[in-house]
Amino acid sequence: MKRINLLYWITTGLLAALMTMSGITNALSVPEALEAFRHLGYPAYLSPFLGVAKLLGVVAILVPGFPRLREWAYAGFIFDLAGAMYSGIAVGDPVGVWLPILVGFALIAASYYLNHRRTAAINPAGLSLEVA
């Protein structure tokens, strides 16, 4: 149990750091983030929206007691990275530009898997721990 818990917090911490850094640059409309949006063909007003969504997703995966909200946050992160990867491929970016996104997918998958393993270890009867 300790090993699963440790691995969960390592992968979740790395995922949270990745999404927090990305979310802050998007939410603050940092010039580099806006240039990336322009390159992909997206309007600048989308940047703060996605930034705030990423930051809320980070809160959702770190705050205990809301498993359904955490599931939605993981899904949102997958949609975000899938959209970023597809957009990079669609505009003809070389593999080296969009391939690091796979690291994000790996962190999401590991955190999600370990979260379920951890929850099953804490609650072997399978009873819902969700806050009403």
Is the CA virtual torsion 49, 64, 102, 24 positive or negative? positive
Tell me the mean pLDDT per 10 residues along the chain, length 132.
Answer: 93 98 97 96 96 98 95 98 96 92 97 94 64 45
Contact 4, 118 (CB under 8 A): yes
Domain count, the chain: 1
Residue 118 counted as domain residue: yes
Tokens for 38, please give them. Answer: 């322009």
Where in the sequence is the domain holding 25, given as residue range(s)?
2-122
Distance CA 93, CA 56 (A): 29
Contact 84, 101 (CB under 8 A): yes
Residue 36 counted as domain residue: yes
* Residue 41 pLDDT: 95
Residue 89 counted as domain residue: yes
Residue 97 counted as domain residue: yes
Residue 30 counted as domain residue: yes
Report the predicted TM-score, pTM, of the whole model to 2 decimal places.
0.89
Residue 132 counted as domain residue: no
Residue 130 counted as domain residue: no
* Residue 132 pLDDT: 41
Residue 128 counted as domain residue: no
* Residue 123 pLDDT: 72
